[in-house]
Amino acid sequence: MKIRVDCDESYGRYLVASEDIMTPGTNVLVEQAYSCSSHEENMLDCCFSCQARLFKVVDSCINCGYLFCSTLCKQTHDHSMECALISELKLISSDLMIDFGLVLIVFRICLRFINKPHEELLGPDMVDVQLGLLSTHTRCDLVQSLQTHEEDIDPQVLFLFKKASSLIESTLADRIPNSKISFQTILNIFCVILVNAHGLCASGFSCDSGTGLFPIVSLLSHDCRPNCCFVTICNKIYVRSVAPILKNEKISISYIDLTQPTKIRRRELLSTKYFICECFRCCSETECDVFPRSYPCSHCKVGWVVPIINKTEEVHCSVDNLDFENCDDFNDAFDMFDEIYQNKEPQEVWQCHSCKSIDEDSKGDVIESSIQRLLSENPNVDVIEKLNDNKVSSCHYLLYGCLTRYCSNDSKPKHKRIKYLNEVINILEKILPPFHFEISSRYKQLSLLYDDDEQADAALDAAKRHIQVVYPNGHFENSSKNLL
Ligand SMILES: [Zn+2]
Ligand SMILES: [Zn+2]
Ligand SMILES: [Zn+2]
Ligand SMILES: [Zn+2]
């Protein structure tokens, strides 16, 4: 019993620690996907059921030709009903140019609603979880209670989802009479997948090979300095602590690249998850005393000018007053939607952290856009070094990724790369949770640069310590190879 569900008006449901979880690397939550599927292009490389990478074919379906990692996996998957409709689902996918994997996972969830509506939430694949309020729900209830954000979704995407939903609805009505799955239920599933699903990683793929829906993990909060990381291994997700967590503390993970500056992180969360992050790091003007976005104050000469963020009251992007249905050109609708996002972003004012004088000319915005322009033309740290000449803080540029690119460039002098990597690690250790994998890959890089064996070994040990915390025992050897 490590977590329980809590609920409040502004956050909705979320999970908190029901006891102290002091050791980083603890499995806080392990959940098997309610449903999953590979992306279309990976379907013949992965088991059609559990999404494990196939190194050899063990069993296949004589009807549809898809492959399974074992005969048992094929039997337990209950493949016959979906198999009969695969060609129709493929037509829907190709007609609408939607990934077949997405159509398939939505359809699989429909089948699960039809076949197992009363399935209990707590199954044998849940480890150490006491779900409080949720234990009275069925898994089907829980999936249906996840947020759809239908009103926030890009109208072009929503339009495709609606078309696909109506086609799936009629396929179900023709082939499984009494299925009682409505158009709106199917549309909700599409939206729930878009907003809540996690990427799956089969070994050997450098990026996500598929998608899985994990309804309990979907209740976890986002934080830009989270206390947990997640790893997916086939169709299971492991939520592992990466910092000590105290009783009653909110359990958090991150949905985005945390090495980005606040403005970029918030923009990404707003456009993909439909909320403005107000975590500690996002609301800390100095980003936890790291000053990643700042320039020297010309008034007091000692302070740094940083962006002050005005909190917004209304974070919901309503499109109610826009007439998308009668809009001929969906690109116009999309532009309108973009504009809404722009207006929803909190307005930043730049202010000296020391003397409190306000930068009336938005010099900070000008500096940032010039850095970004320079980087897009020439993504090289030399450019930044020139521009840096005291115009911005020493780590302002770091978070735009160019310094890390420099550090991995073999033609650059070793001593400089070592110096920068140590600088990067120092900053990442302040802004990220103590065992974040970003830190371990920098230690790994560092270990390859040191000529001194002792220093190299120490850096490699640090990298391994970090990786071991994130990857569950037993999966360490396979999974860590990609990172180490
Ligand atoms: Zn399998
Ligand atoms: Zn089949
Ligand atoms: Zn945040
Ligand atoms: Zn000042």
Ion ligand 1: residues, CB < 5 A: 47, 49-50, 52, 69, 73
Q: Do the domain assignments include residue 287? A: no
Range of the domain at 93: 3-253
Q: Do the domain assignments include residue 81? A: yes
Q: Do the domain assignments include residue 80? A: yes
Q: What is the per-residue pLDDT for 289?
A: 82
Q: Do the domain assignments include residue 163? A: yes
Could you count the other beta carbons within 10 Å of the beta carbon of residue 89? 20
Across the chain, what does the average pLDDT equal?
81
* Ligand with minimal distance to 71 CA: 1
- Helix ranges (H only) for 52-136 are 71-77, 80-96, 100-115
* Ligand with minimal distance to 60 CA: 2
String of b and e for 367-400 (b: at least 16 CB within 10 Å)? bbeebeebbeeeeebebbeebeeeebbebbbbbb
Q: What is the per-residue pLDDT for 149?
A: 92
Indicate the pLDDT class of residue 83, thresholds 50, 70 and 90. Answer: very high
Q: Which of 8-17, 330-339, 399-408, 409-418 has the lowest mean pLDDT?
A: 330-339
* Ligand with minimal distance to 64 CA: 2
- DSSP H or E segment with residue 431: helix 414-431
Q: Do the domain assignments include residue 450? A: no
What confidence tens digit (pLDDT) does each residue in 392-429 have? 666 665 656 677 777 888 888 898 889 888 988 888 88
The residue among 13 and 100 whose pLDDT is bigger is 100
Task: Report the predicted TM-score, pTM, of the whole model to 2 decimal places.
Answer: 0.83
Q: Do the domain assignments include residue 478? A: no
Indicate the pLDDT class of residue 344, thresholds 50, 70 and 90. Answer: low
What confidence tens digit (pLDDT) does each residue in 194-224 have? 999 999 877 666 668 899 999 989 989 999 9
CA–centroid distance, residue 51 to ligand 2 (Å): 15
We report the CATH number of the domain holding residue 176 as 3.90.1410
- Helix ranges (H only) for 258-401 are 262-273, 280-283, 330-344, 363-377, 381-388
What confidence tens digit (pLDDT) does each residue in 217-244 have? 998 999 999 999 998 888 889 999 999 9
Q: What is the per-residue pLDDT for 454?
A: 93
Q: Which of 162-171, 256-265, 393-402, 428-437 has the lowest mean pLDDT?
A: 393-402
Ion ligand 2: residues, CB < 5 A: 61, 63-64, 83
Ion ligand 3: residues, CB < 5 A: 224, 277, 279, 282
Q: Of how many residues is the chain composed?
A: 484
Q: What is the per-residue pLDDT for 130?
A: 44
Asked if the model's pLDDT at residue 162 lies above 90, the reply is: yes
Residue at token pair 């400089």:
416
* Ligand with minimal distance to 104 CA: 2
The residue among 312 and 335 whose pLDDT is bigger is 335
Counted domains in the chain = 1
Rounded to 5°, angle at Cα 441 from 436 and 447 = 130
Per-residue pLDDT, averaged over 362-384, amounts to 72
Asked if the model's pLDDT at residue 306 lies above 90, the reply is: no
CA–centroid distance, residue 142 to ligand 1 (Å): 25
Q: What is the per-residue pLDDT for 381?
A: 60
| 430 φψ region: left (φ > 0), alpha (ψ -120 to 50), beta (else) | alpha
Q: What is the per-residue pLDDT for 13?
A: 80
Q: What is the per-residue pLDDT for 416?
A: 85
Q: Do the domain assignments include residue 99? A: yes
Among candidate residues 441, 433, 482, the one with its CA nearest the CA of residue 460: 441
Q: Do the domain assignments include residue 299? A: no
Indicate the pLDDT class of residue 126, thresholds 50, 70 and 90. Answer: very low
The tokens for 238 are 């492991």
Q: Which residues contact 288 (CB under 8 A, 6 or more apart)?
A: 225, 280, 281, 430, 431
